[in-house]
């Protein structure tokens, strides 16, 4: 995996982790609508991480 590919994957992981922290804070504040949106963001970020990981590993295997 190139440095740029690794950076992209690390950024996606960071967003995934930070969205969970934000979700916790929003729940503490009883901001239900924002928490629901953040929950979806967290799920989307998880899918993004998995997709990037698979795609980048497929590129590595092809190269």
Q: Which domains does the chain have, with CATH numbers?
A: 3-56 (1.10.287.230)
Pair 9, 25: CB distance under 8 Å: no
Q: Please write the tens of the pLDDT for every residue from 7-58.
A: 999 999 999 999 999 999 999 999 999 999 999 999 999 999 999 999 998 8
pLDDT of amino acid 58: 85
User: 6 or 61, which is more confident?
Assistant: 6
Predicted TM-score (pTM) of this structure = 0.86
Work out the pLDDT band at 63, boundaries 50, 70, 90: low
Q: What is the DSSP string of 47-62?
A: HHHHHHHHHHHHHHHH
Backbone angles phi, psi at 61, to 5 degrees: -70, -30
Count of CB atoms situated within 10 Å of the CB of 19: 19
């Amino acid at each position: 995996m190139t440095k740029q590919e690794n950076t992209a994957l690390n950024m996606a992981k960071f967003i995934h982790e930070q969205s969970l922290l934000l979700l916790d804070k929003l729940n503490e504040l009883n901001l239900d609508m924002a928490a629901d949106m953040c929950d979806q963001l967290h799920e989307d970020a998880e899918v993004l991480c998995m997709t990037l990981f698979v795609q980048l590993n497929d590129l590595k295997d092809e190269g």
